[in-house]
A and B are shown apart, each in its own frame.
Chain A
Amino acid sequence: MRCRRGPLAPGARTLPAVAVALTVGGCGGKTSVVSPKGPAARSVVGLWWPMLATATAVFVFVVGMLVLAAVRGRRKTEDDAAVTPGWGEPFIVVAGVVVSGAILVGFFLFSLQKVQALTDAGRRSKLTVSVVGHDWWWEVRYPNGAVSANEIHIPAGVRVRLALDTADVIHSFWVPPLGPKIDMIPGQHNTLWLQAGEPGVYRGQCAEFCGLQHANMIIRVVADAPADFDAWMAREAQPADDAATGGPGRPVFETQSCAGCHTVRGTAAAGTVGPDLTHFGRRDTLGAGVRPRTDGDLARWITDPQSIKPGAAMPPTTLSPADLRALVAFLEGLR
């Protein structure tokens, strides 16, 4: 991916912070907080720019005064008498308490209003998707029985509710261009709503430190046009079809350790330790986003996942070259 200019936030042009805004918003748009791709993120950015502008103003004032004080009329001798200005203490009170206080209370109320708006909006979502964090991958379940992993499809322009849980330690669900994050905590059910303005792929990462592969617990939110989404969800709920399971790879999968951990609906494999692989062939990535799903990597993943994702909870497997080839073909065919 090359780094492309993202669109500037509407308010940004008028701010003294344009330079900062350019560097912040202009690059890495796919994962950026400040190039929002949905209403929640846009709402937050509406808080960010005014706060950045105000902070910049405060900074310019304080540092301006500091620099002027340091360079202005440097004392000629060390003994220059000190003047005691009458404005000293009033200045402290006015700048430090009155003006700062007003600014702070203003932003506090503004931010509270945003909290309210974000919470209210969450009540109006039609679809609930359940997401469960695992060390170090994401399980995704739809109300129609579809199960997937590491990739959440949502209909673009529609508010989707996420029910977030964890199977082990604390993880945190965060897709910056779409909005705020929330932690997944054992024994507690958190929810978050998600909405993407346009079809597209939005990248996020687990944000709470969760151990060895916290860095590679990547989630992709794929926003489809609503019609495409319905088709996708319907297909995802189906078991793997005969075209996919007819080849020589299926028995390998079923007889090797794979079936103990992975489910492929429509076969004997019904493990629940690892991601559901029923439609693995339709996903973009491998190992919770650690690699694109290309042939070479898949074979290596099966024989030695630790070399790609050290610490991942999948053991290496030794296979004959023929079996390996069959297994790769089988997995690729799960569409």
Chain B
Amino acid sequence: MATVTTGAATPEVLEEHWSETPGLGSFLTTVDHKRIGKRYLYTGLLFLVIGGVESLVMRIQLTHSNLHVVDPETYNQLFTMHGVTMMFLFATPVLSGFGNYLVPLMIGARDMAFPRLNAFGYWVFLGAGAFFYSSFVVHRLPDAGWFNYTPLSDSVYSPGPNVDFYALGLIFVGISTTAGSINFIVTILKMRAPGMSLNRMPIFVWGELAMALTVIFALPALTLANVLLELERRAGFHFFAAAGGGQPLLWQHLFWIFGHPEVYLVVLPALGIASAIIPTMCRRPMIGYTYIVLAEMAIALIGFGVWVHHMFAVGLPSMGLGFISLTSFLVVIPSGVQIFAWLATLWAGKPILKTPMLFVLGFIVLFVIGGLSGPMLAAIPLDQQVTDSYFVVAHFHYVLVGGAMFPIFAGIYFWAPKMTGRLLHEGWGKVSFWLMFVGFNALFFPMHILGLRGEPRRTYTYQAGLGWDFLNLVETIGAFVLALGILITFVNWVWSAKRGEPAGHDPWRGESLEWATTSPPAEYNFENIPTVRSREPMWDQPELGPHGQPAEAGGRGLGGGHNTLVTSLLEAEPEVVAPMPHESPWPLLLTVALLGIFLGLVVRSWVFWSVAAVAAVIATAGWFWPRGETQET
């Protein structure tokens, strides 16, 4: 091929190397980060609907005192699976989905560093979701709460398989999250387009990086806790039960060493979404870029030192509590820095109030409300009053739904046009936003008041005459208004994907590289991998167009093969032209084998899981078996 000698690339040649033959085959074997990213998004949003419907049933049950819509056991399963679904199957995967789709585009790469591992991550997430909900078929959904405290969750007080589904399911989904995070880190550190030194990297990418690093050091605690729990439940080991010399609090420590970083790793990429939209809609660079980046890293870091604030009421000595209280107060500072940087940018920039911007503004308002109840909970005596009451439920829905779901919706309005090539409808977008905003506040604001009035969380009903009925009614109404708002966006999205206004490659006049691709982007993303000379390349480098950058201006075609560019860690100088792996069935097959292992464990069939384990070994060998395409060594 002539191209090999010059290094130039043409769409035809790239097409030949990169296109995946349509059909079922490539559906099951794809390694394209854009297809995988969209799958994460759609599957995660499906779980939002499932978790959301669970919460609506809870809301109906709580509309009034002494209702019997569901029995206590069902209610316990509902809130447990609502929490688990929303945290592990909705928020984290959807944000990974945005990351998967956008990170390679934003940093000017042709795929993620480990495309097959990427596919594997998705399949495992899907498999784990299926595993969790297979418990529904046998009516044994997990029922000990999303933090599953022992001894309630041990084999004495939870003899059924419910908790096994919880523990094994979390170990399973953890494989996906860990694989995804390793992939993000390597991609971000080693695949940035030439010239995109770390200090030119989009803040959204920083957010994904902070999230991934947090996963690496936080998730092992959850996995370990669940492995120990299963050993105790199934094999008679002693870790948590006081009887055999164990400590119930060991579980709580391990869970929250993971759990607190977990809530920040949900919010970090969401903050990144806001930081991507604000400058675009203000038509000016972010004021305080460096401060925001440092703040995100500080949040991730300090987040590892606050876990005991979930345990202020367990009776620990007040010395240690004081220290944790201090770190919990301090983590507010980087959050505030972000808020004030956004405010400065908004003030200087006169934002254009299109739907994505509305969702971002709504997010800031809600996140500040939710954030402000944070230090109240960090104040030990106050927390000892309101912990485990609806006040805490209000706090975390403001930061989670306000702080993560609203940015996700902003992201949908902002980037769906990139994915489908068509804009969502503005008018319906605004209707959806206002319904969601009003419904949200009606749903969650009263929870502060109810918490202060003494309503404990995780109660399937409450007594009359306590002054709790009216506000609970308001909340339930709010929940349905919120659901309607969400529904409108979904319909809007589906409708616009076919009939919306064509978006063009850069509908918002964004500043980062994802807008230097066609909408939707070609399979290889960029014809020529651009050279970046600014923090806002799309604004400062007029030569960047829908196909990347012409070779004369610095673009690299890499010979048009199935290659991507490896660059150096800090300054992103080109180092290696790495051939990338093609479609592969093994990630899916390995996932099926893993699913078999976990199902075998839960039904306690020794034969079942050993057969699956052998299958898993075979699948791993198949995966790594040299095929000559990436010069495996």
Please determine whether chains A and B interact with each other in the same assembly. Answer: yes
Mask, A6-32, CB within 8 Å of B = 1, is 000000000000000001100111111
**A55 within 8 Å of B by Cβ?**
yes
Compute how far the CA of A174 lies from the CA of B322 in the bound complex, rounded to whole angstroms.
Answer: 22
Q: State whether the Cβ of A258 lies closer than 8 Å to any Cβ in chain B.
A: no
List A contacts of B227 (CB < 8 A): none
Residue B315 contacts which of A51, A108, A177, A185 (CB distance < 8 angstroms)? A185
Q: Which of A263-322 contact B (CB under 8 A)?
A: 310-311
Q: Chain A interface: which of B299-307, B382-390, B422-430?
A: B382-390
What 1/0 flags go to A101-123 for Cβ under 8 Å of B?
10011011011101110110000
The B-contacting residues of A in range 35-66, CB under 8 angstroms, are 41, 43-44, 47-48, 51-52, 55, 58-59, 62-63, 65-66
Is A95 located at the chain interface by the 8 A CB criterion?
A: yes
Cα distance, A208 to B457, chains bound together (Å): 8
- Report Cα–Cα, A59/B314, bound state, in Å: 32
A256 to chain B, nearest CB (A): 27
B581 interface residue per 8 A CB criterion: no
Enumerate A77-129 residues with CB–CB distance to B below 8 Å.
Answer: 78-80, 82-85, 87-89, 91-93, 95-97, 100-101, 104-105, 107-108, 110-112, 114-116, 118-119
Complex Cα gap A182–B318 (Å): 13
The residue that A115 contacts in the complex, of B145, B321, B457, with Cβ under 8 A, is: B321
Return B616 CB to nearest CB of chain A, in Å. 36
- Choose one: A79, A168, A172; the contact of B313 (CB below 8 Å): A172
Contacts of B287 in A (CB 8 A): 84-85, 88-89, 92
Q: Would B242 and A70 count as touching, CB distance under 8 A?
A: no
Contact present for B372 and A212 (CB under 8 Å): no
| CB-defined contacts of A69 to chain B, threshold 8 Å | 343, 346-347, 350-351
Contacts known (A69-B343, A213-B72); A100 close to B332, Cβ less than 8 A = yes
A3-B467, A69-B343 known; A88+B337 contact, CB < 8 A: no
| Interface presence of A155 (CB below 8 A) | no
**Which residues of B (385-421) have their CB < 8 Å from a CB of A?**
385-389
Tell me if A335 counts as interface (CB < 8 A to partner B): no
Q: Of B107-115, B119-127, B199-207, B363-371, which stretch is located at the interface? A: B363-371
B347-389: which have CB < 8 Å to A? 347-353, 361, 364-365, 368-369, 372-373, 375-376, 379-382, 384-389
Question: With A69-B351, A170-B152 in contact, is A208–B157 under 8 Å at CB?
Answer: no
Given known contacts A111-B325, A215-B461, A92 and B388 CB-to-CB distance under 8 angstroms: no
The SS class assigned to the B binding surface is: helix
Does A207 reach chain B (CB closer than 8 Å)?
yes
In the complex, identify which listed stretch (B169-177, B447-455, B482-490) lies at the interface while the others stay far away.
Answer: B447-455
Out of A41, A62, A168, A311, name the residue touching B339 (CB < 8 Å): A62
Q: Does A201 contact B (CB under 8 A)?
A: no
Among A48, A55, A114, A118, contact of B372 (Cβ-Cβ < 8 Å): A55
Complex: how many Å from CA A74 to CA B72?
53
Q: Which of B247, B283, B337, B452 lies at the interface centre, i.e. has the most chain A CB atoms within 10 A of its CB?
A: B452
Q: Is the CB of A111 within 8 A of B284?
A: no
Q: B57 an interface residue at 8 Å Cβ cutoff?
A: no
Instruction: Count contacts between A and B, CB distance < 8 Å.
Output: 273
Least CB distance from A23 to B in Å reads 6
Select B382's contact among A3, A44, A169, A212, beta carbons within 8 Å.
A44
> Does the CB pair B329–A59 fall under 8 Å?
no
Q: What total of chain B residues lie within 8 Å of the partner, measured CB to CB?
A: 87
Please name the residue on chain B nearest to A87 by beta carbon: B344
- What residues of B have a CB within 8 angstroms of the CB of A107 in the complex? 329, 375, 379
**Considering residues B337, B350, B456, which has the most beta carbons from chain A within 10 angstroms of its beta carbon?**
B456
- State whether B379 touches A111 (Cβ < 8 A): yes
Contact B71 A181 (CB under 8 A): no
Query: Considering the complex, which residues of chain B in the window 269-300 have a beta carbon less than 8 Å from any beta carbon of chain A?
Result: 282-284, 287-288, 291
Is B364 within 8 A of A66, CB to CB? yes
Whether A83 lies near B468 (C-beta < 8 A) is no
| A92 and B341 contact, CB distance less than 8 A | yes
Q: Is B76 part of the contact surface with A, judged by Cβ < 8 Å?
A: yes
Q: A92-B344, A112-B325 are in contact. Are A33 and B385 (CB under 8 A)?
A: yes
Within 8 A of B (CB), among A197-250: 203-215, 218
- Interface residue? B136 (CB, 8 A): no
Query: Is B462's beta carbon under 8 Å from chain A?
Result: yes
Contact B151 A186 (CB under 8 A): yes
Q: Are B369 and A207 in contact (CB under 8 A)?
A: no
Check if A212 sits within 8 Å of B376, measured CB to CB: no
Task: Tell me the bound Cα distance from A1 to B389 in angstroms.
Answer: 22
Contact between A51 and B379, CB atoms less than 8 A apart? yes
- Which residues in A have their C-beta under 8 angstroms from that of B460? 215
Q: Is the CB of B242 within 8 A of A111?
A: no
Is B454 a contact of A205 with CB atoms below 8 Å?
A: yes
B462: shortest Cβ distance to chain A, in Å? 7
Within 8 A of B (CB), among A152-206: 168-170, 172, 174, 176-177, 179-183, 185-188, 190, 203-206
**27 intermolecular pairs with C-beta atoms under 8 Å apart:** A31-B467, A33-B454, A63-B365, A73-B350, A84-B284, A88-B287, A92-B287, A92-B291, A92-B344, A104-B330, A108-B325, A111-B379, A111-B382, A114-B380, A115-B322, A180-B385, A182-B314, A182-B384, A187-B242, A188-B248, A190-B314, A204-B454, A206-B456, A209-B152, A212-B76, A213-B72, A215-B460
Q: What 5 pairs across the A-B complex have the smallest Cβ distances? A: A28-B467, A82-B284, A187-B242, A31-B454, A180-B384
